[in-house]
Amino acid sequence: MDQVLEQLREQAGLGTACGSLANELLVITDQYQSGQIAKEDFQYLIQQVAEVKAANELANDEIAARFIYEAATTLISAFA
């Protein structure tokens, strides 16, 4: 999971649409780890970024959309 978080941090620094979504995943993960949001909220928010936002914002970039989806799936699995 550390590798996924590092990849998300790298993407977040790029200033792209994918980077923006990567940053959202990082923020949600940080909120969950610090106890600011419940597990159910964490899972819901991560899924929303991966499924809804990625589909809308990365519709023309299949590789980036896949990256966000796979990272989200890894985060949910890691905190299951």
Q: What is each CA distance from 11 to 48, 49, 80, in whole angstroms?
A: 18, 15, 24
What pTM was estimated for this model as a whole? 0.91
Asked if 67 contacts 4 with a C-beta cutoff of 8 angstroms, the reply is no
Domains in the chain: boundaries: 2-78
pLDDT (mean) for 32-61? 95
Q: What percent of the chain has pLDDT over 70?
A: 100
- Compute φ and ψ for 16, nearest 5 degrees: -100, 175
Asked if 75 contacts 38 with a C-beta cutoff of 8 angstroms, the reply is no
pLDDT, residue 49, reads: 95
Neighbours of 7 (CB within 10 A): 15
